[in-house]
Each structure stands twice: as structure tokens, then as C-alpha cells.
């Protein structure tokens, strides 16, 4: 199929070549990749994730240094993953065509946005008028390794990445489309054909409505954001000097019962995917966030949040559900200040039993931060498209 | 391919799997340094002396062995400033014959470890736990003497297939605790002078949701009347005082042949999770908080309940009973429990229990697995292919230019020379002016580098190849 190949190369050229060539190619039909992204092995037409953690035997899928990860919930084809990449960067998915997922989940910032809290849109502004920002209640979480998570959002309100993927599209104060409008936009743009090509022959998803196929494509793409090749991982895989003395001291503190970090942020994902109340302070003027209480209707989960993974955490400042801590140093100091140090007495929170009174001097706090910084790996960074099936231009990177 | 026998011999001699070595550490030297010198299969022997350090064992199949000479054994001493004595994250690790004392967090912690053995150690005053295997499987904790911690002396957290045998556990908030575990045998231990002797607790907020098949047999559980000295805002701060054996929320516990004497609140206490922990801690929506399928066969229960405290005292105050019972089920919703006799002992709250049918748990010899959990082994082919996919494919692919040159070019440059390729990727020198430098892959063990080298050289490059990118333009897409 020389024709198809040529198309693919044209696209790749477009990705790699200077802007002049890209402009020339802008009108060209977009071809979805036939190759699985880095980290995947193709088997029977689908991309299957491979990591060096697969070589370990472990009965819980977590804990210690060498545990096999539980497999991702679903597997997708190369084309489905690639289509999700376009959708993720395409502002077509927002009412004013000015906001894509990547506006908030920015690749260079660990797929978060560098803001304490995300900037959404004021839904009260009539269509067509210039959008006004509205500060959303929570911080934008990073998305590396999100495909392994079965508890999503800060408050744990979702369990499936597919369902999570369109929530911001439909949220009035975020991208603000409804399902009908999204379907119309997909059908009337090049996405109609691309979705048909990616899903039309796939028994699993063929019969789904366009909108749901798009949700799967987004989930497929986000699942490919895998970060398991940090210097910490090198140490796990047997490179005994991959971590510095200070980082090793940090690791020793991280897994000590004095701090209990690894009891909740359990490797290899650095999350055991449970809910926990920490008693994190709210920024001045922001009302208390009841977190998982509202989701599960349980008083004793008041102020509980999903334990976040810490991969690439050095890139995703500020921290916590409300972005109240600007730097990793502040987070570590929060733990070091001891159980309940910032919790409002009016709340009577049931703080998790693993939140204790560690004894961490300033050097040890620095050691922990150094260790957290060794969890950085973006080698599987996806290619950012330079042109989009909608014809719109990329609004953020 | 047929190999020449002499070649095989030479290869065997050169192979990294040298026969197990013994490293000896003497007073004044560092145990950790010796562990870092050791390879899987090695033994680190530690001579008498005082070692002030935290030792972490992150390699597999290491034996850390104290050597007793003239009645002296090696001492790991944290001087009340160091946090942990020994941290284990390697499979197949054995730790034996040490005195571990004066740490503030744990004497010995094992996380995510298969096939562990901890035996013949004395552990004193090590903070929270003395011996703490968690998220670990197929292990033995035996013949240790442990005391003086503010949580459980032996703590099996979210474990599976573990035997805890013939230890003496005393002077702690709990002697032995099986926490949210499965397949645990606690036998022949002498558990005395703790706040609670032996505990089987379903703990909320952890990733394991179920418990089961736990046998507590032939232990001496006596005089567990110590005041609870855990911080009042901690989880163990809620552990009742004066209780021989406490079961909270945990299912399928079998009690048999224990001597349970002189515990002043109650001999055996069963409570639901909410009563045990709910006052201060969130319960877990995914866990069943009641005790189910407990089986109490013949046990020697005597002199318990003389002076009840805390939780048991409160229960008695409500029910008007004269003294603490031998057995108290404080959870009317518990289900499926059975007892040897409702009349042999002062048993309260057991009206809804049935009488146990035979057989008992006596036939259970061990909860450990018949054979060690085998490591998952990858063939050289799998190792090479999977490393290529998991690591190298971020920058190289079979048919075009990513961040690094395409496979075809690699194959041209290293034709028939996998060893040279394996060496080059560990310390890359500049090869292609039209590409940035490659980060060294020296963190990959030599075996892995050779396997991946063979894999690359065997790949079938796909037909077409795009043109090389102009300098610099190939990285600007990465978002970094």
C-alpha cells in the first residue's frame, strides 16, 4: 500500500519538519498512525503495554521495589490511540473552540497547568461573546500513568478513564458542549471519517455512538502516557548507583514507618489508589472542600481525597487538590508538621491513621524532596500535532 | 547451534552468576556497605559488635546472618535517633541472629517481599513495629524475642501465606497482629504483658479488602494487662487493654489449643470494625466491618476478666454483668461463628453462635507455600524485545526517524556485533552529527544490554524510510 505509507510519511514529515513544509501539508488528509506508540508491542492488531515491571512476580501489584503492575483496563489499536492524540489537543471539543484538554493538561508540565486551580469558563456568557475565565474549585492533576488508575479525580468520583474523558467536555464551566453538539461537530469535521477508520472494523467498539468512540480514543491516548523509566526505576531494575546518596536517603525515609509515605504512595505507581483524609488547609477565602464525602455520602470521608500517584510530581506544581502548596518542600513540611497541623478544629475530620508525627529535620525534608524529583521520566512524551483534523490551530502545548 | 564444551566452560566461568559468596562484616565496618557489595545468593555474615546504621536490602536472595561468638551477638543499634534497623525489598531474604534495638520506626520492615525468613532475632524498643512484613507473601517469622514497641511487636500487614511461630512477644501495645491478611498461622508463641496479646484486625483505608483463613493455635497468651502507651491519636491508641486475643472485623479466624490466662478485661474479644476504630478513623466502604466465620475450638481460658477496662468495661456497664468474660462477642451482627461449647466458659454475646463441627484446624501444618514463589523469568529473547519496547522505542523505531536514528542505520553500523552494540549504549560516543547525543543506558544490567542488542540486530526494518530531520527540529515536538 504505497499510497497509505506515503500519507503517513507526509504526516510524520509535517511533525518533524520546519513550519513551511507543514503549511503546505495542512490541507492534506490526516493519516492515523499504524504504529503503536513507544512502550507498546503490537499483538493481533492491538497495542499492549510493555514495561520492565512485567518481569517481576508480586501478588498485590504493589509494594516494595519490584512489583508487577496490574494491566491497563483495555487495549486499543495504534489508530485509536493516535486519534485520541488529535482529540486531546483539539479545541473543537469546547463551545467557543478555544479550549482543548491540553489547555489545562499541558505536556510540558506533566499534563497539569502550573496553576493552583484550573481556569475554566464562565458558562453565563452567551455563545459567541468573548469567554471569561472562571476559577474552578480544584487543581489540574497531571496525567502520567493515569491509565493504571481505577479511582479517578481528586475526590474519587469516577472509576473509568473512558467516562472521565468526556466529563470536562460536558461540564458547563469547562468545555461546555452537550453530547448532541459534540456528535455534530465530530460528524461534520474530518473526525467523522477518522473515527470510522479507527473504530469501524473493531468488534469491541464498532457499534458505539461517535461520542463514545471519541471517549475511548481519548482514554486510549491518555493510557499511553506511561512513565516508568525514571532514575528511580533504573535503581529498581538493578542500577545500584542510579540514585545519588541524597536520593537514597530520601527513599529510605519515604519507605520508613516514621513517615509512612510508601504506605499510601505505594510503588510502583506511588499510589495505592485509596481515599485518605489528610487535613490539607484550604487557601485563604476558599471554603472547605468536602472531597469524597460528597461522592460517597459518608460523613467519615469528609475531606478525603484519592491518593495521587507521584510520578513526574516535580513537574506538576502547585500541589494538592486545591494547589495550596507551591513547592514540594511545602508538601513535605506539611507532613513533617504532624498529624492535623492545619485541620480546622471546626471540622472534626477523621484523618487517616497513616498520617502521624514524623520526625524530619530540614536535611531529611530535603532528602525526601530530592527523592521525589528522581521520579521524573517523560521519555514516552507523545508528539504534539502541528495540525488538527478540525483545521483549528493548537491552542496550547 | 551446537556449543563446544570448552566454550561452555569458559562462558560459565565468565558468567555473572558466580557461585554464592560470603561477605564477612566485623565491628567497625558497615553492614550496608557489605550488602551493597553482595549479589543474589550471597550471605553477609556479621560478627559481634555494635553497628549504628540503617541497612536496606534491595537485592534478591540475600542472607543477612549474625554470628554469635562467645555469647555475644551483633547489635544493630539506632541509638534512639535512627528510624529503621533493616528495610527489606528483595525477594528471598533471610535475616537471622541479630539483636536490633533503639530505633524509632521499625526494627525490621519488609515491603512487597516474597519468600522471606526472619528468625532467632532479639528486637527491643524499635518504635512502632519490631518485625513488620507487609504486602508480602510466603514467609516465616520464628523464634524471635521482641518487646517494647507502641504498636504490634510482630505485624503482618496485608500479608498472605505466612507462619508466625514460637516467638516471645511482650511489653508492647500488641504482641502479634495479623492485619487484613489471608492464610496466616500464629502458633506456639508466648505472648504476655502487652495491652492486647494477639490481634486479628481488618483495618480500613488499605488496599486489601478481605481477610481469611487465619489460625491462632497453641499459643500462651497471658497477663496482657499493660496500659496502652501508644499516642492517643494513633490507630493503636484504640487497642483495648487487658485482652488476650482480639478480633475486629476479621473473618475466618480459628482459635484452638491456646492458653489464655489472666487477661483482666477478657480472654477473647470480638468486635466489629466500627466499634473498634470508628470513633477516630474512617471506615472503608469496600470492606465488610463484621466478624464472620470465627471458630473457637478448645482453648484453656482461665482467670480472665477480673478487672475489666475500656471497651469491655463499657460493655459490662451496659449489660450489668459481674465481671469480664472469657469470651465476649460485642457484635450482635457477627455471623457464621461457632464455638466448642457455650457452657465450658463464661462466654457472652454468643447466643447466636452455633456449636463447631469437627474437624478442627489441627491438620493445618503450615500456611507457607509448598515451594518458594518462583521469580517470573524472561528468556533472553523476551528480555531483549521487552527492553526495546519499554525503553528504546521512545527514541528509535523500525521504519523512520524519531529522536534517534532508525533501526536500519543501527544494523548497518553494528552488523554481527551485538557485544559492541551492548557496550556502546552503556557509554555512547557521538556517531551521527544529524542527531543529538544519546543518553547512556548504563543503568541496564549487562545481560539486558546484550539481549536488547541481539534484538535490535534481528529486527526486520519496515520498507520505507523518511528523510532525516534537519538538525534540531526533531526534539522541539517533545514538549520539554
Tell me, yes or no, whether A146 lies in a domain: no
Tell me, yes or no, whether A58 lies in a domain: no
Q: Which residues of B touch A15 (CB under 8 A)?
A: 477
Q: Which of A58, A257, A262 sits opposite B128 (nearest CB)?
A: A257
Q: Indicate the pLDDT class of residue B362, thresholds 50, 70 and 90.
A: confident
Q: Which of B83, B106, B477 sits opposite A15 (nearest CB)?
A: B477
Q: Which of B158, B207, B281 sits opposite A350 (nearest CB)?
A: B281
Domain total for chain A?
1
Instruction: Please state the domain extents for chain B.
Output: 380-479
* Section B133-137 average pLDDT: 96
Phi and psi angles of residue B351, each rounded to the nearest 5 degrees, phi first: -55, -35
Q: Indicate the pLDDT class of residue B462, thresholds 50, 70 and 90.
A: low
Tell me, yes or no, whether A334 lies in a domain: yes
- CATH code of the domain made up of B380-479: 1.10.760
Question: What CATH number is associated with residue A249?
Answer: 1.10.760.10
Tell me, yes or no, whether A194 lies in a domain: no
CB neighbour burial string for A192-221, b if at least 16 within 10 angstroms, e if fewer: eebbeebbeebeebeeeebbbbbbbbbbbb
pLDDT of amino acid A395:
67
Tell me, yes or no, whether A80 lies in a domain: no
pLDDT of amino acid B128:
97
Strand B300-302 to strand B338-339: parallel, antiparallel, or no bridges (unpaired)?
A: unpaired
Contacts of B18 by beta carbon, 8 Å cutoff, 6+ apart = B39
Are A164 and A151 in contact, with CB atoms under 8 Å apart?
A: no
Tell me, yes or no, whether A40 lies in a domain: no
Report the C-alpha gap between A80 and A87 in whole angstroms: 11
B394 to chain A: closest CA residue? A38
Question: Which of A110-124, B108-122, B455-469 has the lowest average pLDDT?
Answer: B455-469
Are A38 and A380 in contact, with CB atoms under 8 Å apart?
A: yes
The ipTM, to two decimals, is: 0.91
Are A183 and A174 in contact, with CB atoms under 8 Å apart?
A: no
Q: Do A54 and B466 touch (CB under 8 A)?
A: no
> Residue B9 pLDDT more than 80?
no
pTM of the model: 0.93
Are B196 and B153 in contact, with CB atoms under 8 Å apart?
A: no
Q: Which residues of B touch A300 (CB under 8 A)?
A: 278, 281-283
| Residue where the block lists cell 507462619 | B163
Residues belonging to chain B: 480
Q: Do B109 and A9 touch (CB under 8 A)?
A: no
> Residue B208 pLDDT more than 50?
yes
* Section B113-127 average pLDDT: 98
Q: Which of B375, B464, B477 sits opposite A57 (nearest CB)?
A: B375
Count Cβ–Cβ pairs < 8 Å, chain A vs chain B. Answer: 211
| Each residue's pLDDT expressed in tens, for chain A with a length of 397 residues | 333 333 333 333 334 433 323 333 344 578 999 999 999 999 999 999 999 999 997 777 899 999 989 888 899 999 999 999 999 999 999 999 999 999 999 999 999 999 999 999 988 888 777 778 899 999 999 999 999 999 999 999 999 999 999 999 999 999 999 999 999 999 999 999 999 999 999 999 999 999 999 999 999 999 999 999 999 999 999 899 999 999 999 999 999 999 999 999 999 999 999 999 999 999 999 999 999 999 999 999 999 999 999 999 999 999 999 999 999 999 999 999 999 999 888 888 999 999 999 999 999 999 999 999 999 999 999 999 989 999 999 865 4
Q: Do B387 and A229 touch (CB under 8 A)?
A: no
Neighbouring C-alpha atoms within 13 Å toward the C-beta of A62: 21
Q: Please write the tens of the pLDDT for every residue from B376-414.
A: 889 999 999 999 999 999 999 887 777 899 999 999 999
Mean pLDDT of chain B: 91
Largest interatomic CA distance in chain B: 91
Tell me, yes or no, whether A322 lies in a domain: yes
Determine contact: A43 vs chain B, CB below 8 A: no
Phi and psi angles of residue B214, each rounded to the nearest 5 degrees, phi first: -125, 120
pLDDT of amino acid B429:
94
Amino acid at each position: 500500500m504505497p499510497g497509505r505509507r506515503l500519507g503517513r510519511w507526509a504526516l510524520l514529515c509535517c511533525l518533524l519538519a520546519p513550519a513551511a513544509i507543514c503549511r503546505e501539508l495542512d490541507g492534506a488528509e490526516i493519516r492515523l498512525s499504524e504504529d503503536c506508540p513507544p512502550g507498546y508491542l503490537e499483538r493481533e492488531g492491538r497495542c499492549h503495554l510493555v514495561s520492565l515491571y512485567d518481569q517481576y512476580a508480586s501478588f498485590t501489584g504493589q509494594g516494595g521495589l519490584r512489583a508487577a503492575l496490574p494491566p491497563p483496563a483495555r487495549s486499543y489499536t495504534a489508530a485509536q490511540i493516535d486519534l485520541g492524540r488529535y482529540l486531546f489537543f483539539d479545541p473543537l471539543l469546547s463551545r467557543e473552540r478555544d479550549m482543548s484538554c491540553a489547555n489545562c493538561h499541558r505536556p510540558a508540565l506533566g499534563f497539569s497547568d502550573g496553576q493552583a486551580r484550573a481556569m475554566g469558563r464562565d458558562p453565563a456568557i452567551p455563545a459567541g461573546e468573548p469567554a471569561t475565565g472562571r476559577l474552578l474549585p480544584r487543581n489540574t492533576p497531571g496525567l502520567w500513568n493515569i491509565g493504571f488508575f481505577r479511582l479517578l479525580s481528586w475526590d474519587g468520583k469516577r472509576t473509568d478513564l473512558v467516562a472521565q474523558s468526556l466529563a470536562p467536555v460536558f461540564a458547563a464551566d469547562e468545555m461546555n458542549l452537550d453530547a448532541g453538539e459534540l456528535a455534530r461537530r465530530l460528524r461534520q469535521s474530518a473526525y467523522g471519517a477518522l473515527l470510522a477508520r479507527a473504530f469501524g472494523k473493531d468488534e469491541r467498539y464498532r457499534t458505539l455512538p461517535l461520542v463514545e468512540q471519541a471517549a475511548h480514543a481519548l482514554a486510549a491516548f491518555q493510557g499511553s502516557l506511561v512513565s516508568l523509566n525514571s532514575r528511580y526505576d533504573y535503581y529498581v531494575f538493578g542500577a545500584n548507583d542510579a540514585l545519588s546518596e541524597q536520593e537514597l536517603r530520601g527513599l529510605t525515609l519515604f519507605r520508613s514507618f516514621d513517615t509512612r509515605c510508601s504506605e499510601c504512595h505505594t510503588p510502583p505507581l506511588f499510589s495505592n489508589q485509596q481515599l485518605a483524609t489528610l487535613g490539607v488547609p484550604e487557601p485563604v477565602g476558599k471554603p472547605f472542600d468536602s472531597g469524597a464525602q460528597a461522592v460517597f455520602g459518608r460523613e467519615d470521608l469528609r475531606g478525603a481525597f484519592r491518593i495521587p500517584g507521584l510520578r513526574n510530581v516535580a513537574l506538576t506544581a502547585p500541589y494538592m487538590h486545591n494547589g495550596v502548596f507551591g513547592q514540594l518542600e511545602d508538601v513535605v513540611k506539611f507532613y513533617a508538621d504532624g498529624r492535623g497541623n492545619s485541620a480546622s478544629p471546626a471540622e472534626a475530620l477523621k484523618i487517616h491513621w497513616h498520617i502521624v508525627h514524623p520526625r524530619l529535620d530540614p536535611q531529611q525534608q530535603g532528602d525526601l524532596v530530592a527523592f521525589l524529583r528522581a521520579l521524573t521520566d517523560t521519555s514516552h512524551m507523545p508528539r504534539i500535532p502541528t495540525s488538527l483534523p478540525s483545521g483549528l490551530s493548537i491552542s496550547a502545548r | 547451534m551446537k556449543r563446544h564444551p570448552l566454550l561452555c566452560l569458559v562462558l560459565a566461568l565468565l558468567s555473572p552468576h558466580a557461585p554464592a559468596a560470603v561477605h564477612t562484616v566485623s565491628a567497625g565496618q558497615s553492614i550496608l556497605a557489605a550488602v551493597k557489595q553482595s549479589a543474589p545468593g550471597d550471605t553477609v555474615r556479621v560478627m559481634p559488635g555494635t553497628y549504628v546504621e540503617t541497612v536496606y536490602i534491595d537485592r534478591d536472595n540475600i542472607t543477612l546472618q549474625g554470628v554469635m561468638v562467645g555469647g555475644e551477638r551483633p547489635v544493630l543499634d539506632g541509638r534512639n535517633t535512627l528510624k529503621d534497623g533493616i528495610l527489606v525489598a528483595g525477594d528471598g531474604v533471610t535475616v537471622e541472629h541479630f539483636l536490633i534495638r533503639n530505633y524509632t520506626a521499625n526494627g525490621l520492615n519488609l515491603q512487597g517481599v516474597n519468600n522471606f525468613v526472619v528468625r532467632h532475632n532479639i528486637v527491643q524498643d524499635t518504635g512502632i513495629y519490631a518485625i513488620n512484613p507487609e504486602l508480602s507473601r510466603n514467609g516465616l517469622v520464628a523464634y524471635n524475642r521482641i518487646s517494647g514497641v507502641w504498636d504490634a511487636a510482630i505485624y503482618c500487614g496485608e500479608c498472605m501465606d505466612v507462619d508466625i511461630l514460637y516467638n516471645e512477644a511482650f511489653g508492647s501495645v500488641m504482641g502479634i497482629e495479623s492485619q487484613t491478611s489471608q492464610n496466616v498461622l500464629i502458633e506456639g508463641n508466648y505472648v504476655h504483658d502487652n495491652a492486647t496479646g494477639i490481634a486479628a484486625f481488618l483495618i480500613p483505608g488499605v488496599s486489601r479488602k478481605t481477610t481469611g483463613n487465619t489460625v491462632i493455635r497453641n499459643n500462651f497468651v497471658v497477663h496482657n494487662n499493660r496500659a496502652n502507651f501508644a499516642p492517643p491519636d494513633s490507630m493503636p491508641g484504640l487497642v483495648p487493654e487487658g485482652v488476650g486475643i482480639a478480633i475486629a472485623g476479621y473473618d475466618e479466624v480459628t482459635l484452638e489449643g491456646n492458653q489464655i490466662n489472666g487477661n483482666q478485661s477478657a480472654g477473647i474479644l470480638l468486635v466489629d470494625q466500627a466499634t473498634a476504630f470508628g470513633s477516630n478513623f474512617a471506615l472503608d466502604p469496600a470492606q465488610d466491618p463484621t466478624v464472620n466465620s470465627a471458630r473457637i475450638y478448645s482453648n484453656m481460658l482461665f482467670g480472665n476478666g477480673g478487672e475489666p477496662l475500656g471497651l469491655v468495661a463499657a460493655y459490662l456497664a451496659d449489660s450489668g454483668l459481674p465481671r469480664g468474660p472469657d469470651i465476649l462477642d460485642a457484635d450482635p451482627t457477627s455471623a457464621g461463628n461457632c464455638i466448642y461449647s457455650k457452657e465450658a466458659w463464661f462466654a457472652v454475646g454468643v447466643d447466636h453462635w452455633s456449636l463447631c463441627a469437627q474437624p478442627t484446624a489441627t491438620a493445618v501444618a503450615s500456611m507457607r507455600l509448598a515451594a518458594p514463589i518462583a521469580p517470573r523469568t524472561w528468556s533472553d529473547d523476551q528480555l531483549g524485545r521487552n527492553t526495546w519496547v519499554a525503553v528504546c522505542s521512545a527514541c528509535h523505531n523500525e521504519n523512520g526517524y524519531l529522536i534517534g536514528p532508525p533501526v536500519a542505520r543501527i544494523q548497518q553500523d553494528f552488523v554481527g556485533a551485538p557485544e559492541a552494540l551492548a557496550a556502546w549504549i552503556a557509554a555512547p560516543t557521538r556517531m551521527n552529527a544529524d542527531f543529538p547525543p544519546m543518553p547512556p543506558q548504563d543503568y541496564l544490567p549487562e545481560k539486558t544490554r546484550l539481549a536488547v542488542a541481539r534484538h535490535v540486530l534481528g529486527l526486520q526494518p519496515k520498507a520505507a524510510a523518511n528523510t532525516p530531520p534537519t538538525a534540531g527540529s526533531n526534539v522541539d515536538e517533545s514538549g520539554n
